[in-house]
């Protein structure tokens, strides 16, 4: 049984024969290994073109900004998984990456699509970015939805990583319509939504990397690659000095049983 309509049986990424491996038209051994840095290769792999210096620098900055943020839920999931299944680093790494969903690290992708939508709306309707932003924010307010890319539970006066990324984009001359759209949104949002809404890192990453020329459909690759590096650090540390079950123990203690037959005094033992 063949599922769906898929009629182009091609790939443009790599091919090989007995003597050589070709990646994006280049000879892997002759042209790439030892010639490029990994960030440049990542850009080439995904887009098919080598990045210029500004693109590479912007990608490095984005990757570094979100690779590591301590014992966040996905890191805990990965470390608990390694503690329980030390035979499979790949499984623990996957348990960590599976938490890069719409709520946490995957929010970069959602914010990127939102920025693109507001920008496109301004172009399609022939209205100013300010008008497009205000209309969009009012619609979100009416639906009681969050504004993607703005606001932070911890850094209400501004997410330092976001500000740093935007400064770098300005310095590199990368700043373009996506960053401008995000800044216009951030300017109008507090008045409309009625609370502090600084640009957060999930807004700054897509805005800066889209302006650098990265495709919107590949946005999710940026937090996924970045976090793989952070998770690697945690899995190595877990293999040397395990905290997976300590964390799990304390997490368990924080929750009480209120199901059928629960007593007034919780009888959970440590």
Give least dist CB 174 to a copy of itself, A: 12
Cα distance between residue 194 and residue 190, in whole Å: 5
C-alpha dihedral, 188 to 193 to 199 to 201, nearest 10°: -150
- By beta-carbon proximity to a copy of itself, the closer residue of 126 and 241 is 241
- By beta-carbon proximity to a copy of itself, the closer residue of 80 and 119 is 80
DSSP string over 28-75? IIIIITTTS-HHHHHHHHHHSS---HHHHHHHHHHHHHHS--SS-HHH
φ and ψ at residue 197, rounded to 5 degrees: -140, 70
- By beta-carbon proximity to a copy of itself, the closer residue of 21 and 127 is 21
Give least dist CB 154 to a copy of itself, A: 5
Give least dist CB 35 to a copy of itself, A: 8
Closest CA to 128 of 190, 177, 176, 166: 177
- By beta-carbon proximity to a copy of itself, the closer residue of 142 and 254 is 254
- By beta-carbon proximity to a copy of itself, the closer residue of 128 and 156 is 156
Give least dist CB 128 to a copy of itself, A: 30
- By beta-carbon proximity to a copy of itself, the closer residue of 17 and 126 is 17
Closest CA to 190 of 143, 234, 140, 150: 150
Give least dist CB 181 to a copy of itself, A: 22
Give least dist CB 107 to a copy of itself, A: 10
Question: Between vectors from CA 92 to CA 240 and to CA 106, what angle results, nearest 5°?
Answer: 120
Give least dist CB 195 to a copy of itself, A: 14
Cα distance between residue 97 and residue 57, in whole Å: 24
- By beta-carbon proximity to a copy of itself, the closer residue of 129 and 244 is 244
Alpha helices in 85-128 (DSSP H): 89-97, 107-125
């Amino acid at each position: 049984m063949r599922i769906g309509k898929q009629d182009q049986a091609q790939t443009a990424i790599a091919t090989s024969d007995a003597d050589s491996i070709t990646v994006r038209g280049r000879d892997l051994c002759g042209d790439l290994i030892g010639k490029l840095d990994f960030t440049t290769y990542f850009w080439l792999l995904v887009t098919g073109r080598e990045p210029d210096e500004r693109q590479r620098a912007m990608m490095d900055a984005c990757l570094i900004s979100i690779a590591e943020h301590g014992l966040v839920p996905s890191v805990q999931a990965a470390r608990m998984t390694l503690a329980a299944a030390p035979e499979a680093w790949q499984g623990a790494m996957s348990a960590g990456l599976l938490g890069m969903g719409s709520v946490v690290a995957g929010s970069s992708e959602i914010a990127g699509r939102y920025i693109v939508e507001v920008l496109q709306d301004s172009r399609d309707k022939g209205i100013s970015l300010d008008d497009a932003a205000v209309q969009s924010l009012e619609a979100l307010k009416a639906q009681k939805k969050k504004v993607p890319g703005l606001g932070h539970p911890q850094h209400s006066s501004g997410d330092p990583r976001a500000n740093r990324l935007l400064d770098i984009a300005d310095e590199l001359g990368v700043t373009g319509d996506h960053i401008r759209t995000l800044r216009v949104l951030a300017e109008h949002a507090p008045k409309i939504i009625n609370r502090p809404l600084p640009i957060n890192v999930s807004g700054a990453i897509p805005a800066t990397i889209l302006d650098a020329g990265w495709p919107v459909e590949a946005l999710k690759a940026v937090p996924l690659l970045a976090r793989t590096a952070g998770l690697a650090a945690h899995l190595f540390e877990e293999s040397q000095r395990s905290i997976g079950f300590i964390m799990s123990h304390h997490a368990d203690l924080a929750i009480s049983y209120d199901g059928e037959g629960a007593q007034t005094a919780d009888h959970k033992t440590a």
